[in-house]
Amino acid sequence: EAGVVQSPRYKIIEKKQPVAFWCNPISGHNTLYWYLQNLGQGPELLIRYENEEAVDDSQLPKDRFSAERLKGVDSTLKIQPAELGDSAVYLCASSLETGNTQYFGPGTRLTVL
């Protein structure tokens, strides 16, 4: 069974530029999560989807961050414009349903110059 797929693995951009991350969850998993992991810290939840509905986006900085999960499968997380402080690893995870074990992708390491 394929795991959670994320792309790109690495991204380097200049500040004020837009950037997007893509996530393909494990087949059949209807809950999808995006986490932000700063250096030396544990991941922090940004947004959670149940199918195509964002059911918890309270930690998503909505002035510059946006996310979508069309058709309840793949998801895209976007930052526009990026700031220096956005440099971090962005992790995607999925689970069969809310409350079950979450399985993580390899993450995207973003560097903003």
Partner 1 sequence: AQTVTQSQPEMSVQEAETVTLSCTYDTSENNYYLFWYKQPPSRQMILVIRQEAYKQQNATENRFSVNFQKAAKSFSLKISDSQLGDTAMYFCAFMKQKRADGLTFGKGTHLIIQP
Nearer to partner 1, 48 or 69 (CB): 48
CA dihedral sign of residues 56, 62, 65, 66: positive
Tokens linked to 83:
């700031």
CA 102 to chain centroid, in Å, comes to 13
Chain residues in the site for partner 1 (CB under 8 A): 33, 35, 40-45, 48, 56, 89, 91, 93, 98-99, 101-107, 109
Q: Report in angstroms how near the CB of residue 95 gets to partner 1 at its nearest.
A: 8
Nearer to partner 1, 12 or 18 (CB): 12
Q: Report in angstroms how near the CB of residue 32 gets to partner 1 at its nearest.
A: 11
CA dihedral sign of residues 84, 64, 18, 104: positive
Q: Report in angstroms how near the CB of residue 62 gets to partner 1 at its nearest.
A: 17
Nearer to partner 1, 50 or 74 (CB): 50
| Interatomic CA distance for residues 58 and 49, integer angstroms | 12
